[in-house]
Chains A and B, each alone.
Chain A
Amino acid sequence: MIAFIIRRLLQSILVMLTVALVAFALFRFVGDPIASMVGQETTLAERAELRDALGLNDPFVVQFFTFVSRALVGDFGISYRLQQPVMELILSRLPATLELALVSGILAFVLGVGFGVYTALRRGGWLSSSIMTVSLIGVSLPTFLIGVLLIWVFAVELQWLPSFGRGDVVDLGGWWRTGLLTESGRASLVLPAITLGLYQMTLIMRLVRAEMLEVLRTDYIKFARARGLTNRAVNFGHALKNTLVPVITITGLQLGSIIAFAIITETVFQWPGVGALFINSVRFVDVPVMAAYLMLIALVFVVINLIVDLLYYVVDPRLRMDRTTAGH
């Protein structure tokens, strides 16, 4: 168990270093940091001096080391565009994205598993077939189109829900502003959460359905039925548990992509999260923000991956090698 965790941690560190390299490369190859920092009237000599002061003439390895050690303490420099520390910017935007992603993720998981199990158990029923057909739309329509359609129907035509922004927010302890505690905040969350979660939901649903059908065909399910266990015990006690083992991995990773894909949804709904921040920083070649965002997303993926692996380990006894007493 310990060895397993250490191995996974080392892998994670390796991944983060690779991403850091890419992020660092942005500084060197996208735009000229000096040009972004100084005014028109700065002399060449002054620029060279600044370059030296910033360590831009140091060897590559030294510069990369400086970048990584600063990143470790959350120092990604100052945003070219907003002249604010990048970390501060990101932290102020992060709650909006995390709340959106979490609500979408829960929505996708609960509905995805529910529909998946239903359509597997009621294979061939008219409701199952309808759900499957509608889900096809979910996977084939691009996210921004779904967002625009939802805005058109629920915000413009029916005027039930707001089409942009986050509504009123409440400050929690000075570092987390939540929209979940106000009515307008919750109303504003509905359309973006559906937009962001729909694709993942259909994916999870199809995965659960396929996996469940597979499990229902296994010998141990046949044997469970042959022992006279009730349908409920067989379907939910035995089949569902086995279905969820592989589903956990993929669903966990989906949460990572939900945060990453939030870029599109945040743009469509003008949601004030890190995704929107990233899009704007790309437009203005605000390299420090871009680099920090890249590292943030990578960190999210790595952490989720780690949690999923551990969860997998907890759920599936076959992976708990330390207990192996296999005998003959």
Chain B
Amino acid sequence: MTTPPLLSVRDLVVEFPTRRGTLRAIDKVSFDIAEGEVLGMVGESGAGKSLIGAAIIGLLEPPGRIAGGEILLRGERIDSLAAEPMRRIRGKRIGMVFQDPLTSLNPLYTVAEQLIETIRTHIDCNDREARERAVALLDRVGIPAAARRINDYPHHFSGGMRQRVVIALALAAEPELVIADEPTTALDVSVQAQIIDVLKEICAERGASVMLITHDMGVIAETADRVAVLYAGRLAEIGPVRDVIQHAEHPYTQGLMGSIPTLTQTSSRLVQIPGSMPRLDAIPQGCAFNPRCPHAMERCRRDRPGLLPRGADREVACWLYEAAEEEVRHG
């Protein structure tokens, strides 16, 4: 038997019951993250990226709930765990970095207090040992004079420095998986690259896998091993970063790539996708992308395409490729 991947998400469905029916925000999303791998998760705002992260770490806010599928950590289901065992996984096995470092830290506690509390929640050690670990960690994420600065309150740090503190906190108990939800979106452009570098390096050092949520394809291109493209709560395409960027197969991904000029210097024109992503209560029948798709066919408006394997390590949810496969088979 092969060893199971670090994280496996199978047919995940997240729903919000509302007065006017149930909204399905995540619809049968499946992907794996391998040991030590960085998986990029892209999609425009509202595609459901954060919800997938929240579902994995067990912090969906009610009334949102997992209505189907399963989430496995090293082959063990974690989506059906009771509150207490799930709490023990948070921080200890799955760490999370949120978007806004200015609001992620409790303003009333020093960095030392927050780090030591987190370390001692998961690791059996005394206060002094926890403090030593905390200082080493701060030093590692690049806080100068860590031994002194650790006693400062969050408001004494700049945005970039605070995000380093947040990363230190997320990694305090050495989790195997780190979910970073747009970790640089709220930061000044000048420090974004540094923060991504720190995150990437530290995780690589410890062999931690990363799910990097972002809508910045540039960041994905430089950081991720594989990328998953999300559209209206469904996966459109998933595969190795190079392949997806250079040869996007899903028409939506092609459009996305088209909107990043630096990455498509080979193509002379910018592909613009007309229209916008549908609201959750108005997702069209068949392929969710069909009203905007330049290649939409009869079948696209009727049946929803599942993820079809494309070669060894790619999958794409688009009827174009089934047709192609059939043609190949028949021809």
Chain A residues contacting B118 (CB-CB under 8 Å) are 227-229
B266 to chain A, nearest CB (A): 39
Q: In the complex, which of the residues B103, B121, B158 contacts A228, with contact meaning CB atoms closer than 8 Å?
A: B121
Give B154-167 as 1s and 0s: 1 = Cβ < 8 Å from A's Cβ atoms.
01111011000010
Contact call B156/A327, Cβ cutoff below 8 A:
yes
With CB as the reference atom, state the residue of chain A lying closest to B105: A220
Q: In the complex, which of the residues B57, B106, B110 contacts A226, with contact meaning CB atoms closer than 8 Å?
A: B57
- Among B87, B157, B172, which residue has the most Cβ atoms of chain A within 10 A? B87
Whether a CB of chain B sits under 8 angstroms from the CB of A283 is no
Q: In the complex, which of the residues B87, B91, B107, B117 contacts A318, with contact meaning CB atoms closer than 8 Å?
A: B107
Chain A residues contacting B107 (CB-CB under 8 Å) are 220, 242, 316-318
Q: In the complex, which of the residues A219, A241, A327 contacts B108, with contact meaning CB atoms closer than 8 Å?
A: A241
Contact call A230/B105, Cβ cutoff below 8 A:
no
User: Which of B92-100, B208-216, B320-328 lies at the interface?
Assistant: B92-100
Chain A residues contacting B98 (CB-CB under 8 Å) are 219, 222-223, 226
Query: Given the interface contacts A219-B103, A237-B117, does A226 sit within 8 Å of B156 by beta carbon?
Result: no
Give B126-163 as 1s and 0s: 1 = Cβ < 8 Å from A's Cβ atoms.
00000000000000000000000000110111101100
With CB as the reference atom, state the residue of chain A lying closest to B96: A226
Q: In the complex, which of the residues A219, A237, A238, A315 contacts B100, with contact meaning CB atoms closer than 8 Å?
A: A219
Whether a CB of chain B sits under 8 angstroms from the CB of A225 is yes
With CB as the reference atom, state the residue of chain B lying closest to A324: B156
Chain A residues contacting B122 (CB-CB under 8 Å) are 228
Contact call A228/B89, Cβ cutoff below 8 A:
yes
Complex Cα spacing A230 to B160, Å = 28
- Among A228, A229, A315, A318, which residue has the most Cβ atoms of chain B within 10 A? A228
Complex Cα spacing A257 to B169, Å = 44
Whether a CB of chain B sits under 8 angstroms from the CB of A218 is yes
With CB as the reference atom, state the residue of chain B lying closest to A326: B156
Give B254-297 as 1s and 0s: 1 = Cβ < 8 Å from A's Cβ atoms.
00000000000000000000000000000000000000000000
Whether a CB of chain A sits under 8 angstroms from the CB of B185 is no
Whether a CB of chain A sits under 8 angstroms from the CB of B67 is no
Contact call A317/B108, Cβ cutoff below 8 A:
yes
With CB as the reference atom, state the residue of chain A lying closest to B170: A227
Complex Cα spacing A317 to B113, Å = 13
With CB as the reference atom, state the residue of chain A lying closest to B166: A223
Whether a CB of chain A sits under 8 angstroms from the CB of B47 is no
Whether a CB of chain B sits under 8 angstroms from the CB of A300 is no
Complex Cα spacing A316 to B169, Å = 22
Q: In the complex, which of the residues A231, A245, A327 contacts B157, with contact meaning CB atoms closer than 8 Å?
A: A327
Complex Cα spacing A220 to B118, Å = 13
Complex Cα spacing A317 to B108, Å = 6
Whether a CB of chain A sits under 8 angstroms from the CB of B241 is no
Contact call B108/A227, Cβ cutoff below 8 A:
no
With CB as the reference atom, state the residue of chain A lying closest to B89: A228
Chain A residues contacting B155 (CB-CB under 8 Å) are 317-318, 326
Give A242-253 as 1s and 0s: 1 = Cβ < 8 Å from B's Cβ atoms.
100100000000
Contact call B87/A230, Cβ cutoff below 8 A:
yes
Contact call B105/A223, Cβ cutoff below 8 A:
yes
A76 to chain B, nearest CB (A): 44
Chain B residues contacting A230 (CB-CB under 8 Å) are 87, 121
Whether a CB of chain A sits under 8 angstroms from the CB of B74 is no
Whether a CB of chain A sits under 8 angstroms from the CB of B81 is no
Contact call A328/B108, Cβ cutoff below 8 A:
no
Q: In the complex, which of the residues A226, A238, A242, A317 contacts B153, with contact meaning CB atoms closer than 8 Å?
A: A317
Whether a CB of chain A sits under 8 angstroms from the CB of B173 is yes
With CB as the reference atom, state the residue of chain B lying closest to A218: B103
A4 to chain B, nearest CB (A): 17
With CB as the reference atom, state the residue of chain B lying closest to A217: B61
With CB as the reference atom, state the residue of chain A lying closest to B57: A226
Chain A residues contacting B193 (CB-CB under 8 Å) are none
A317 to chain B, nearest CB (A): 4
Chain A residues contacting B170 (CB-CB under 8 Å) are 226-227
Complex Cα spacing A225 to B96, Å = 10
Chain B residues contacting A225 (CB-CB under 8 Å) are 59, 90
Whether a CB of chain A sits under 8 angstroms from the CB of B104 is yes
With CB as the reference atom, state the residue of chain B lying closest to A316: B108
Contact call B91/A227, Cβ cutoff below 8 A:
yes
Complex Cα spacing A229 to B120, Å = 10
Complex Cα spacing A218 to B96, Å = 15
Give A188-231 as 1s and 0s: 1 = Cβ < 8 Å from B's Cβ atoms.
00000000000000000000000000000011101111111111
Complex Cα spacing A229 to B104, Å = 14
Chain B residues contacting A220 (CB-CB under 8 Å) are 103-107
Chain B residues contacting A231 (CB-CB under 8 Å) are 87
Give B108-126 as 1s and 0s: 1 = Cβ < 8 Å from A's Cβ atoms.
1110000001100110000
Whether a CB of chain A sits under 8 angstroms from the CB of B88 is yes
Show 15 residue pairs from A and B whose CB-CB distance is below 8 angstroms, ordered by the A residue. Answer: A219-B98, A222-B59, A225-B59, A225-B90, A227-B172, A227-B173, A228-B89, A228-B121, A229-B121, A241-B108, A245-B108, A317-B108, A317-B110, A325-B156, A328-B160
A-B pairs with lowest CB-CB distance, top 7: A228-B91, A228-B90, A219-B103, A226-B96, A227-B91, A328-B158, A317-B153
Given contacts A223-B105, A317-B110, A327-B161, 12 further A-B contacts (CB under 8 A): A220-B107, A223-B98, A226-B91, A227-B95, A227-B170, A228-B122, A229-B118, A230-B121, A238-B109, A318-B155, A323-B156, A327-B158
